[in-house]
Amino acid sequence: MNKVKRVIKVLGMVNCTPEFEKHPFIINGASELFAQVWGEENGVGVRSAVGFGSLPDNIPVEIEALFELHVG
């Protein structure tokens, strides 16, 4: 965790029904956590949130994130 310089991009995949339209509200939780850990300036990157009819093992949410790391 100490090697993370900043969050670059977060992709949130939400397991949901076709009628559900609030995917970004679900992914906000991950962004808020990252902002608490690394601060507002470094913890919030570009975000995408999409809905899927199923995810592996029927998990509710999958997060993919790209981070810039401190080198050295």
pLDDT tens-digit series, residues 24-60? 999 999 999 999 999 999 999 999 999 999 999 999 9
Name the pLDDT band for 6 (thresholds 50, 70, 90). Answer: very high
Q: How many angstroms separate the Cα of 14 from the Cα of each of 6, 17, 46, 66?
A: 24, 9, 17, 18
Distance in angstroms between the alpha carbons of the first and the last residue of the chain: 15
* 71, pLDDT greater than 80: yes
CA gap 53, 31 in Å, rounded: 23
pLDDT of residue 1: 85
pLDDT of residue 72: 75
Q: Mean pLDDT over residues 4-28, rounded?
A: 95
